[in-house]
Homo-oligomer: A and B are copies of this chain.
């Protein structure tokens, strides 16, 4: 079965089963009415997934993927991740007693690598191109390890879908959801849950100006390779939409909004000042998108995907 077929085979009962299984290990995040500057002409609420253990939504997917791997007889896990997914999987691997190898780009934030080591994972650093090759091929040269892809993995998408379930439960009237777009796993999962619950909700994928693979793919009608500039927004922004993800992304995402670095930095600051939340650049992109004039009058949720920002960087932004 292709990934798209596996995802299409998921039913609401599957997502509810995942939610029930991971419940003891995750935080049931509330929706927080936006208190920051701007956006007074809309009903904007944040879904603060930065409150999860290890600071991002990825713990949901990690728990589900580790469970699935163990059910399939896996004894060792491996993944390629800029950090957040690896931390979520690391938390899950420790929970299930499985060793974990993590492949990271050498640009990964110090805080993320330190946290992985704290979790007991073995970290392997690669230059970005080699890291991307591992992400595309799932081949990291480690025998007997079950490779868990951070995005193109049905168990990951089903884990992410639990966020959509919670949004639907907590706010029946939500009309629009802005979601940081890394590889599409988060957007696809959330959209899937809402669709399975029969909700009509507009799904906005948020990119940052330094790398816009999805906007480019929508323009070209297929995945294309884009340029990428490093910035403090390091949780999203890849070189290209993965081929396996493209059919799902095309089906589930309505359109993109591209946030500027300045908008992301402003959102980081407002989140700290008005919400007492430490938000990473990717999460800030979803807030920035939700504040755009085009969403005036909307009932809109911004998914704050994570809070793994270097504290020195944060300090410079808020000081």
Chain A residues close to B by CB (< 8 Å): 27-30, 32-33, 35, 48, 50-51, 53-55, 111, 269, 272-279, 306-308, 311-312, 314-316, 318-319
- A111 — which chain B residues lie within 8 A by C-beta? 273
- A311 — which chain B residues lie within 8 A by C-beta? 269, 272-273, 318-319
- A50 — which chain B residues lie within 8 A by C-beta? 276
Question: Which of B30, B33, B54, B277 touches A28 (beta carbons < 8 Å)?
Answer: B30
A276 near B307: Cβ-Cβ < 8 Å: yes
A27 near B35: Cβ-Cβ < 8 Å: no
Question: Cα distance A272–B314 when bound, in Å?
Answer: 10
Question: Cα distance A184–B289 when bound, in Å?
Answer: 42
Contact (A30, B32) CB under 8 Å given A51-B275, A311-B319:
no
B51 near A276: Cβ-Cβ < 8 Å: yes
A166 to chain B, nearest CB (A): 11
A35 near B48: Cβ-Cβ < 8 Å: no
Question: Cα distance A221–B312 when bound, in Å?
Answer: 47
Question: Cα distance A55–B32 when bound, in Å?
Answer: 11
A30 near B33: Cβ-Cβ < 8 Å: no
In the assembled complex, 19 residue pairs joining A and B whose CB atoms fall closer than 8 Å, in A order, are: A27-B30, A28-B30, A32-B51, A33-B53, A35-B54, A50-B276, A51-B275, A55-B274, A55-B276, A272-B278, A272-B311, A276-B279, A276-B308, A277-B277, A278-B278, A312-B318, A314-B315, A314-B318, A315-B316
- A28 — which chain B residues lie within 8 A by C-beta? 30
- A35 — which chain B residues lie within 8 A by C-beta? 53-54
- A269 — which chain B residues lie within 8 A by C-beta? 311
A229 to chain B, nearest CB (A): 25
Q: Which residue of B lies closest to A319 (CB)?
A: B315
Question: Cα distance A50–B308 when bound, in Å?
Answer: 19
Question: Which of B27, B54, B276, B319 touches A312 (beta carbons < 8 Å)?
Answer: B319
Q: Which residue of B lies closest to A275 (CB)?
A: B51
Question: Cα distance A277–B27 when bound, in Å?
Answer: 14
- A279 — which chain B residues lie within 8 A by C-beta? 276
- A51 — which chain B residues lie within 8 A by C-beta? 30, 32, 48, 275-277
Question: Which of B306, B307, B308, B315 touches A315 (beta carbons < 8 Å)?
Answer: B315
Question: Which of B27, B33, B319 touches A32 (beta carbons < 8 Å)?
Answer: B27
